[in-house]
Chains A and B, each alone.
Chain A
Amino acid sequence: MPDLAGPVVLDEVAPALAPWTAVVRKGQTLRIVDLEGNQAVDFLMYALEDDSERYSAQDTIAAQGNIFLRTGSVLMSNEGRPMATVTDTAVEYHDTIGGACSCESNTLRYGHHTKSQHACVENFLQGNARFGRGKRDMVSNINWFMNVPVEADGALGIVDGISAPGLYVDVRAEMDLVAVVSNCPQINNPCNGFNPTPVRMVIAG
């Protein structure tokens, strides 16, 4: 793993299952390390100055003409402005079409017996609440280290991951932003290898 440029201002572990938030200033890099391998890290971000401007998966896909996030991908806001850039990643690609798991969608995907299980939307709501944000602030997110291929007939799904222990992604902020993360607690599909694990979060620059 290459060194990050600039001083490290934060280096901590986001526990398995938990929300995590941080302010990332313009020019700083957030590194997320998949410590134990194939741990989906659900990720949203909001402009610090005006949180009505936030990450837009659809704007990002349209701007780069591709659904996968790779090194060089520019992460766009709903106003069509670059919020951040994927400056480096050891994983071939990441997902931004699969969205976040929720108690409610789990009832559709797996059955009503899963309703009481913890889910990413719960983490996002909790993480956002401390900034005064709520459900209206939930939009399609990024899933770092998650694999969602689309087949020729449109068939898609969350399948076995292509990450591995110690692989990482570096995201450089192009504006001051708030990153809101759910370290995905899903146990009903392979997005976390059926075993949610901690991830390391580093901010430098």
Chain B
Amino acid sequence: MTDFSTADPAGARAHARAMAGTQVESMPTVPATAAPDRPQGVAAEAMLWAETIAAGGYAAKRLNRGARLRLVDVHADACLSMLLFNAERPVERLNVADTLKVQWNGYLGEGKLLLSDMGKVLMSIVEDTANAHDAFCGASNAASNARKYGAGDNWGPHPNARDRFLLATAKFGLGRKDIHPCINWFKGVRIAEDGATRFNAGPYAPGRQVTLRAEMDVIVVLANCPHVLDPRPDYTVTPARVLAWRAEPTQENDPIRNAPPEGLRAFQNVEEDLRR
């Protein structure tokens, strides 16, 4: 970079403006319509969000009903912890216990629904090439990161997922009490017969992806921090790519909507709520 004098406002302005156009890996593509990795078949004008979330970083976005959200584990070591809210009424949020219990299964994958605490579907999983996720172990926190890495502060090199959620939710007017149990994408946990958690440390393949469909207007909150059960002594996580685009809301004949009877009622409860 050219040397600038920042001794006066004009010099400081020139210095600041000279930074524009800098490209780094972890940054949003603005506008999202210019994203070079726009999914096949998606029109540029339909793109809503394209962002690479840093290792240890976070991001949040409001998405309308019908929008698709693709999470990509670009370098095979992302761990995206997710919170989910009804955008219109954020007091309605993801309920992990109901999500598992209502669907009679503990493992998330293609065709599964993410359910709210009000008997409704927030998002559905329309595609999943990762098949290794976790709904049991939750977010890392300052204490767990301090134990493993010596510190877990937002201002340090080892941010924890819970404190990332704190910042992300604060920007939507939400607070500590709104940080509910979360889902961890891309790091698998299975449950043994005796109840033990079995962490799948990989290695995983790069480029694994999950595509979600918003079934109501939602606020999606993502933190990309090492899984709380990750046994590696070093803070290990890689950037994650997030793409979202506008698409048609779920139709009545949708196969995911009509799969199990419990799920169908979760869609019907959303449709009932939208009858205005």
Contact = CB atoms under 8 A, between A and B. Distances in A.
Contacts of A2: none
Interface in B134-160: 136-139, 141-144
A188 B141 CA distance: 37
B137 A61 contact: yes
Nearest to B91: A135
B144 A80 contact: yes
Contacts of A111: 265
Interface string A135-156: 1111111000000101011111
A108 B119 contact: yes
Given A59-B141, A61-B136, A156 B106 contact: yes
Grouping DSSP codes into helix (H, G, I), strand (E, B) and loop, the A interface class, with mixed when no group exceeds half, is: loop
Interface stretch (A50-58, A169-177, A195-203): A50-58
Interface residues of B, number: 48
A157 B105 CA distance: 8
A110 B231 CA distance: 41
Given A52-B176, A58-B181, A136-B177, A99 B95 contact: yes
Given A65-B197, A78-B162, A97-B100, A154 B117 contact: no
Contact of A58 (B139, B143, B191): B139
A185 B73 CA distance: 43
A139 B180 CA distance: 6
A62 B228 contact: yes
Given A56-B181, A78-B179, A112-B265, A61 B197 contact: yes
A93 B193 CA distance: 13
A36 B98 CA distance: 27
A106 B269 CA distance: 12
Interface in A82-106: 93, 97-100, 102-106
Nearest to A64: B197
Contacts of A97: 97, 100-101, 106, 136
* Residue picked from B95, B97, B139, B229, most chain A C-beta under 10 Å: B97
26 contacts: A52-B175, A56-B181, A61-B136, A61-B137, A62-B136, A62-B137, A65-B197, A66-B197, A67-B136, A68-B195, A79-B162, A93-B195, A99-B97, A102-B117, A102-B118, A104-B269, A105-B95, A105-B101, A105-B117, A108-B266, A137-B177, A155-B105, A156-B101, A156-B105, A156-B106, A158-B101
Given A52-B175, A154-B105, 6 more contacts: A63-B144, A97-B97, A97-B106, A109-B262, A154-B106, A157-B101
